[in-house]
Amino acid sequence: MNLKGKTILITGGASGIGLEAARQFLAIGAKVIITGRNQAKLDAAKKAHPALVAIRSDVGNEADAKALFNTVKELGGIDILYNNAAVLVAPSNLGIASDKHAEGAAYEMEVNYIGVIRLINLFLDMLKSRNETAIINTTSILSQAPSLIEATYSSSKTALAFYTTSLREHLKIIGSKVKIVELIPPLVATEMTAERKDKKISPEDMVKGLIKGLSKEQHVIRVGDAKLFNLVNRFLPKTAFKILNPQKDHQLLKK
């Protein structure tokens, strides 16, 4: 897929992977719209990259989603919807059988899963009416094997992975040419994962992998260690589970 000249909407685009994607997409020659909840971060991103269009919007809020759609429509529409925004509730707030556990799970599901569906529902007709369009949904290796300390986050990403596969097949059946891409990253060095001491990939390399996959018309793009993990999980699922859940993490569950 040729990104030059495309208009791309990136949710969660004010920092981390989203901002790096915006930077690399702009360098290719794409037009980029970013959204996020933090106005200060959006302003900083706009200052660093004046070509960006920055719109404050919370993907977990229905009214914000509708307002975002209307604004984007007024701007001329988009060719690619990149659902990058996600939240991860700290493991310390996810003790089993607690109110915080349920609240955290609901929050993650609202942003990571339902919010994505809401945006797709709003933008799908727009994308179907244009040439060479795509929806990119960011899942995780945790959608293939769960993390014990991030159980509800894993569940939200699994839900999104299943939905992404179903949406792709549904659109094929009705003859739509909108490409449905699942992006499966490994652990990426962002604010969300700052406390994790495990091996991480940089946002720069993460986005390079995404762009490479898009250029090859891949429907499922695995970047970095996500490629090897997929093989391990297929043939040695118990080993894959242990990789994601080392003994040091077990201690967190006992606290």
pLDDT at 91: 64
pLDDT at 97: 63
Please report the domains of the chain, with CATH numbers, ordered by start residue.
Answer: 7-254 (3.40.50.720)
139 membership: H or E segment, kind and range: none
Provide the annotated active-site residues.
153, 157
Return the SS3 of 173.
Answer: helix
Averaged pLDDT in 10-residue chunks for the chain of 255 residues: 97 96 98 98 98 97 98 98 93 61 91 98 98 97 92 95 98 97 92 73 96 98 96 97 84 61
pLDDT at 143: 95
pLDDT at 192: 74
How many alpha carbons fall within 13 Å on the CB side of residue 229? 21
pLDDT at 199: 81
Q: Report the distance separating Cα 19 and Cα 39, nearest Å.
A: 14
Helices (H), the chain: 16-28, 39-48, 62-74, 99-109, 115-128, 151-173, 203-215, 225-235, 237-244, 247-254
pLDDT at 90: 74
- Percentage of residues of the chain with pLDDT beyond 90: 83
pLDDT at 92: 54
